[in-house]
Amino acid sequence: MWHEISFARGMPALFVPFKKKYGTPLRLLLFLAVAPFLAANSLSAAQLPPHVTDQPLELHRYPLTEVGTELGKFVDEKFTSLRNQGIEPFANYWGTYLANPIGGNQQGTAWAQLLVFGTEIHFDNYGWQGGSIFISATDFAGTNLSQKVGNVFTLSQAVVIKDFNLYSLYFKQAFWDDKLEFRLGRLSAGQVFASLPIMGLPVGGAVNGNPTSLFTNSPFHATGVASWAAYTKYLPTPETYVQAGIFQASPQLGNPANHGVNFSIQRGDGELLMFEAGWLPKFGATDAKTLTDKADGKKQVVPANPGLPGQYTFGAYYSNYTFATFSGGVEHNTYGFYAQAQQMLWRSAANSNHTFTVWGGLTYSPQEEIALLPLMGYGGVVWQGLIPTRDKDSALLNYYIGGFSSSYARQQAQAGAGWATTETVLEASYCIQLAENFQFQPDLQWVINPGGFSGIPNALVVGFQVSALF
């Protein structure tokens, strides 16, 4: 679900495209059969990705429809039973089939699937208020169509680190009614930084979870790759937050051979420091109230108005890691900034499920000698309830553009590959909510200048995504 770039000891190397997915169909069926029993006997982890707003703003989980399946009901019932005991399991599956009949370096097809599962054990039931243990794992199988097309913005969000990997394993402690939170252990920067709820919806991996540029320009990591870290978040008010974290930067991160269980800290490892501040307004929201008519004393209940929710964030990062420059030297520090937001602009008075939301963001990394994508922009719109009889479906139109650094472009030109300028992707998608737990999402992407090179034909990518979220 996220595009992951790993930095081998001082050398930026494209590791494996990243975003939200899962193992083989057989692995999935086996997991669903034993998940309730595994969760009841294991240490645990929480939902993906844990963030300031854990659920996309009214865009993900919906009441069960008539299409609901017995499998969904069964798993939900078992998970609910465990949650009542302080054990909160989750299991999410994404599978994507994509083909590029036109353009790219070559035509082809690709199937990719990702399973993310885990659980969180809350200590409240055992007398420890606000404490919990979180554990999760990922399982990926399939291929990456971007390797055939030749583009940088991964075409499938399901492409992450290969095979089975231990992901998060950390302790969390909350204070003051969750106004202050600490996490310590193994987690990824992408779980808690540089993410908007709405960024979990696209099929493409350009921003699914986190913007690609953070992976290419720094030792930022996400789904399937965790490091030693310490993280804290504070909510001064219900509508504002600040958060900061320190994460291990190491060439061992993202090595498939380690399967996420190499916990060593070695000479030459560095740190990644992250900071983010955010505002979470709900314009026009009101509480339910009761009005009394002075003339006859009759009471009238005015229902609550959920308003128009939004999220506005600004973040920065700094790393003391060692990076190879495009001209052949080394540089020891990197830094950058990002700003992104989503805002619901309209909600139907007749049907609150019908909404229109806009979103967008920008990342900036000024060091062109080591930053592959110094500037990246992205944005789009989401219309939920576009088709009147499909209240929970969402139509998406998105735009992603990344500008390659002049130092990288010069290096490529000297190697005879051409001068890299910008890569642009236009994505149109329609998410069909089959039931509370199941989605089907046809998708179309148009890739302009794959890899930033005008010599590679623009590519048309068509396909679909299926997902199961518990």
pLDDT in tens, 309-340: 999 999 999 999 999 999 999 998 999 999 99
The pair of structure tokens assigned to 1 is 């679900």
CB 450 within 8 A of CB 100: no
CB 140 within 8 A of CB 224: yes
Q: What is the mean pLDDT of residues 438-443?
A: 97
Residue 125's pLDDT is what? 82
Q: Record the pTM.
A: 0.83
Residue 4's pLDDT is what? 32
Q: Tell me: pLDDT of 289 over 90.
A: no
- Rounded to 5 degrees, φ, ψ at 28 are -65, -45
The pair of structure tokens assigned to 205 is 């991996």
Q: What is the pLDDT of residues 402-423, one digit of tens each?
A: 999 999 999 999 999 999 999 9
Residue 298's pLDDT is what? 75
Confidence of residue 304 (pLDDT cuts 50, 70, 90): confident
What is the separation of C-alpha 305 from the centre of its chain, rounded to a whole number of angstroms?
29
The pair of structure tokens assigned to 86 is 């302080």
Residue 167's pLDDT is what? 97
Q: Distance (Å, rounded) from C-alpha 308 to C-alpha 241?
A: 19
Residue 83's pLDDT is what? 74
Q: Tell me: pLDDT of 291 over 50.
A: yes
CB 89 within 8 A of CB 48: no
Render the burial of 267-283: b for 16+ CB within 10 Å, e for the rest: eebbbbbbebebebebe
Q: What is the pLDDT of residues 47-93, one digit of tens each?
A: 223 222 223 333 333 333 333 456 666 777 777 777 777 899 999 99
The pair of structure tokens assigned to 247 is 């994460």
Q: What is the mean pLDDT of residues 338-362?
A: 96
Q: Distance (Å, rounded) from C-alpha 70 to C-alpha 211?
A: 37
Residue 377's pLDDT is what? 98
Closest alpha carbon to 231 in 134, 124, 129, 367: 134
Query: Coil, helix or strand for 420?
Result: coil
Closest alpha carbon to 390 in 430, 359, 427, 358: 430
Q: What is the mean pLDDT of the chain?
A: 85
Q: Which H or E element spans position 36?
A: helix 25-40
Q: What is the pLDDT of residues 107-150, one digit of tens each?
A: 999 999 999 999 999 998 888 999 999 999 999 999 999 999 99
Is the peptide bond prior to 49 cis by the omega test (within 30 degrees of 0)?
yes
Q: Distance (Å, rounded) from C-alpha 374 to C-alpha 338?
A: 11
